Structure 1
Amino acid sequence: MNWKDLVENNNRFFWLLHTAGWFGFALVHYLGSLLHDSRDIFVIIIFLNAYAGWLFTVPLRYIYRRAWNLSPLKIAIVVILASYATGVLWQVVKNFNYWEIYKHGYRPDFWLLYTKSSVWAFYIILSWSGLYFGIKYYQMLQKERQNVLKANTVAHQAQLKMLRYQLNPHFLFNTLNAISTLILVKENDLANGMVTKLSEFLRYSLDKDPMKRVTLQSEIQALSLYLDIEKVRFEERLQVHFNIDEECQQALVPSMILQPLAENAIKHAIAVQEQGGSITVSVSRFGNDLLIELADDGPGAEIKNGNLFRECGVGLVNSRERLQALYRDNFSLVVSNNQPSGVKVNIRIPYELGQ
């Protein structure tokens, strides 16, 4: 059993700390006895007293368990009374051991003298009680902290899944409409190819876990499927260019991070121009960063302080929120004007290689 398992097992952890604490008590008193001219038999007295303390404080655990859900005032009363009663009992045994063993059967003149120094014993037991409650409250707080972290993780996963699956329904409607048109004009082979690519793209978008990242190579293949589908609709009006550094092919990126940006570019740069336009995807490495750029040569848009003033749907918001959820503050997403025309989106994330 490793240390983590031991700590999480409350019963074993209690017995470990309980035994170690009283052993430490005996060891401290033994070291203290070396400063005095005590006979060797005094060592037996020390360990008998420690064993008695170990034994008498065990019932306190079960008393405190029953008092755990009481009000703070009632818990304090229970702790003080139980600690005092245990301390008196323990002191009687300590005095008995000292007088019977070390003093060879000495008897005090009055039986109440067996409770001599009970206040000191009460402080020791009260300290034990304080440690017990302190450790229990610490364990409770740690458990609550783990529950909060677990809840945050679940919420975080749900948020990512929600963002991942915000696929624009217009894409599906337009694609199905294009397939229907192809069938009507007897372009069955082209329609069949479009259905196949749509199936592959949807399978990729649904199969990939949004909590995990994929290689850039895999992400570019998925983006190519999406753009090939759109090319059937726009034909020669849509041109696509990829500039991918070879060393970046196995770099890890969030799955489906580029598709919303490409969809945004098609909607606002390609579809609005009679002659269409082009989309360029560039990926390179700079030090420990992966630099991704998606640019179009459309009519452009008003950009102020990194904000794009046009109806951009969920594309940029989706991407920014997903990057924030995955990388915290270790990323950037910048929107700027492309030259000579159009808009470009630059993303910087840590450069990490897939296994």
Structure 2
Amino acid sequence: MAGPLFEHRDRSFWLLQIGGWAGYALVNYIGSLMHEMRDIYTVVLLLGAYAGFLLTIPLRYLYQRIWELHPVLLMLVVITASYVCASIWAVIDNATYWEIYKFGFRPDSPFFYFKNNLAKFYIVLSWSGLYFGIKYYQMLQGERQKALMASSRAHQAQLKMLRYQLNPHFLFNSLNAISTLIMVKENDVANKMVNKLSHFLRFSLDNDPIKKITLQKEIDALMLYLDIEKVRFDERLDIRVSITDEAKLALVPSLLLQPLIENAIKYAIAKVEDVGILKLQAYVEQRRLVILMCDNGPDAPDKPQALLNNTGVGLQNTQERLQALYGKQFSFNLKPNQPQGLCVEIILPYETLENP
């Protein structure tokens, strides 16, 4: 039951908030039964618990805003906010005692007020500790669920990707191109193509799609695939790559770009009568990695985003895989290219080996 309860953050907060302060009032009431107290003391306890309930609600929204602060600064803010909240609560509590609980008791000693304030401070600080503890637990549960979903999606993507990469048409075209090179005595070129094909297939088989690699390694593997395709298309395929040095260090899911490139070659470049152009750009902007891949295919739809509804390993599978790996921290958009063609834009959190 704990899992589903903590998964719904708003609902769990209010249930715990109400239950916690009701429990606080109950514990204090049971403690009062050990002493001879007037019946009006029950009202005092309820009002005190209600004041604590109301005063701690703003702390939740404050803590949500300061969540990303440095731990030391975060701790200082939490302690300060807890003390201010406790002080206000102590003032309200004292006023309640004086006005409702008429027992001939108005302490003149400042130590009483300090002790009461300190007790309230410990209670509010404990509330803050519980809030952060539950919040971290929810985050860990969320990361665990994303990891499980990513693992499932990645294994599905791996099976589909291998089938897609080992597509008989792709292998047939590659081997046919190699055979043609051998027939025309271009043995050196044929040998290089065999090596590139071997390295590309080895990369495809060896890399776990769950793990991330640098964008530089991803581009290197992609160029092996594109070099094979360039032999097929000869001068009809123009590849333009522009990757900043900072972007090369970024971590991305392995085999991220290959299905997108293969889609572009199959559905766009192959239909271009003149020269098919593939542009691949990557740069870092505001701690986000931006990857832009464009083609000049003639049959791009007016509303490219509708292509995501198609089934298969290409666009939709890539989007689902990113969704599993990054949750809401990514963007995957399809846009029309100018003067013709399609652009795929991927925006990811900028992660490196030093700062994963």
Residue in structure 2 matched with residue 352 of structure 1 by the alignment? 351
Task: Give CA-to-partner distance per residue, 1:184-207, whole Å, 9 cap, x none.
Answer: 222221111100000111111111
Judging changes above 3 Å, is the alpha-carbon distance between structure 1 residues 173 and 293 closer, same or farther for their aligned structure 2 residues? same
RMSD: 2.8
Task: Give CA-to-partner distance per residue, 1:249-281, whole Å, 9 cap, x none.
Answer: 110011111111111111122211221311000
| 1:212–1:255 contact (8 Å) kept in structure 2 | yes
CA drift of 1:312 comes to: 8.5
Residue in structure 1 matched with residue 20 of structure 2 by the alignment? none
Judging changes above 3 Å, is the alpha-carbon distance between structure 1 residues 174 and 290 closer, same or farther for their aligned structure 2 residues? same
- Measure, in 2, the Cα distance between the counterparts of 1:309 and 1:248: 26
| 1:303–1:335 contact (8 Å) kept in structure 2 | no
Q: What is the TM-score normalised by the length of structure 2? A: 0.54
Judging changes above 3 Å, is the alpha-carbon distance between structure 1 residues 209 and 246 closer, same or farther for their aligned structure 2 residues? same
- Measure, in 2, the Cα distance between the counterparts of 1:152 and 1:333: 18
- Measure, in 2, the Cα distance between the counterparts of 1:312 and 1:266: 18
Secondary structure of the structure 1 residue equivalent to 2:239: strand
Judging changes above 3 Å, is the alpha-carbon distance between structure 1 residues 340 and 312 closer, same or farther for their aligned structure 2 residues? farther
Judging changes above 3 Å, is the alpha-carbon distance between structure 1 residues 203 and 267 closer, same or farther for their aligned structure 2 residues? same
Residue in structure 2 matched with residue 333 of structure 1 by the alignment? 332
- Measure, in 1, the Cα distance between the counterparts of 2:311 and 2:152: 26
Structure 1 residues 79-94: aligned runs within 5 Å:
none
Matched, 1:175 2:162: no
CA drift of 1:166 comes to: 4.2
The 4+ residue runs of structure 1 with deviation greater than 3 A are: 148-157, 309-313
- Measure, in 1, the Cα distance between the counterparts of 2:315 and 2:150: 24
Judging changes above 3 Å, is the alpha-carbon distance between structure 1 residues 260 and 153 closer, same or farther for their aligned structure 2 residues? closer
Residue in structure 2 matched with residue 292 of structure 1 by the alignment? 291
Q: Partner amino acid for 2:332?
A: L
- Measure, in 1, the Cα distance between the counterparts of 2:337 and 2:236: 19
Structure 1 residues 138-177: aligned runs within 5 Å:
155-168=152-165, 169=167, 170-177=169-176
Deviates more, 1:264-273 or 1:164-173: 164-173
**Identity among equivalent pairs (%):** 51
- Measure, in 2, the Cα distance between the counterparts of 1:338 and 1:347: 15
Residue in structure 2 matched with residue 245 of structure 1 by the alignment? 244
| 2:209–2:253 contact (8 Å) kept in structure 1 | yes
Q: Partner amino acid for 1:304?
A: K
Judging changes above 3 Å, is the alpha-carbon distance between structure 1 residues 296 and 312 closer, same or farther for their aligned structure 2 residues? farther
Judging changes above 3 Å, is the alpha-carbon distance between structure 1 residues 233 and 328 closer, same or farther for their aligned structure 2 residues? same
| 1:257–1:319 contact (8 Å) kept in structure 2 | yes
| 1:301–1:309 contact (8 Å) kept in structure 2 | no
Task: Give CA-to-partner distance per residue, 1:202-249, whole Å, 9 cap, x none.
Answer: 111111111100000000101111111111111110010111111111
- Measure, in 1, the Cα distance between the counterparts of 2:200 and 2:247: 22
Q: Partner amino acid for 1:240?
A: I
- Measure, in 1, the Cα distance between the counterparts of 2:308 and 2:328: 24
Residue in structure 2 matched with residue 221 of structure 1 by the alignment? 220
Task: Give CA-to-partner distance per residue, 1:122-170, whole Å, 9 cap, x none.
Answer: xxxxxxxxxxxxxxxxxxxxxxx9xx97976763553343344343412
- Measure, in 2, the Cα distance between the counterparts of 1:266 and 1:305: 16
- Measure, in 1, the Cα distance between the counterparts of 2:311 and 2:305: 14
| 1:283–1:291 contact (8 Å) kept in structure 2 | yes
Secondary structure of the structure 2 residue equivalent to 1:271: helix
Secondary structure of the structure 1 residue equivalent to 2:209: coil
CA drift of 1:308 comes to: 2.6
Q: What is the TM-score normalised by the length of structure 1? A: 0.54
Question: Which structure has the bigger radius of gyration?
Answer: 1
Higher relative contact order (CA 8 A, sep 6+): 2
Structure 1 residues 42-191: aligned runs within 5 Å:
155-168=152-165, 169=167, 170-191=169-190
Structure 1: runs of 5+ lacking an equivalent: 1-31, 36-144
- What count of residue pairs does the alignment treat as equivalent? 212
Residue in structure 2 matched with residue 232 of structure 1 by the alignment? 231
- Measure, in 1, the Cα distance between the counterparts of 2:270 and 2:157: 29
Judging changes above 3 Å, is the alpha-carbon distance between structure 1 residues 279 and 153 closer, same or farther for their aligned structure 2 residues? closer
| 2:304–2:336 contact (8 Å) kept in structure 1 | no
